Amino acid sequence: MNRIFNIVAISATLMLSSCATIFTGTKQTVNIKTDPPAADIEVDGIKVGVTPMDVTLKKGFTGQTVSLKLLGYEAKTFQPTTTFNPVSVLNIIGLLGFPIDAATGAMMKYDPKVYEFKLDPKKTN
């Protein structure tokens, strides 16, 4: 009886797991640098720090909106590029893995992991 229970438990775990969510998580750290440094970093309108800095972003089909602001320079807004996370392919053995990875954003990853920007001085009239 224990043997049957163990087989059922292992099978259910494999079939109901979501590989990318488990192995790579729903967030990823990227590095953001600016020239000149010391620009404020905002993620979806919330200040998270100053360049250069590692920033943790939620994964998804579109990147979170990142704004870089420095007094005397034009603001720069961008969405880091997301690509398919190949770890999601391991879901081929699971029933719910693909939908879970899609819903949590773990199916995607940020690539590249480093973003460097040259900020332009504000134009004076």
Span between the terminal Cα atoms of the chain, in Å = 83
Which pLDDT score, from 0 to 100, does residue 91 have? 60
Q: Which residue has the tokens 């259910």?
A: 12
The predicted pLDDT at position 68 comes to 98
pLDDT at 28 over 70: yes
Q: Angle at the Cα of 40 (from 35 to 44), degrees rounded to 5?
A: 120
What confidence category does residue 17 fall into, taking pLDDT thresholds of 50, 70 and 90? very low
Q: Contact 74/58 with Cβ under 8 angstroms?
A: no
SS3 117: strand
Single pTM value for the model? 0.76
**Can you give the length of the chain in residues?**
125
| Closest to 115 (Cα-Cα) out of 55, 25, 74, 58 | 55
Q: Taking Cα atoms as reference points, which of 74, 35, 78 lies closest to residue 55?
A: 78
Q: What is the pLDDT of residue 16?
A: 47
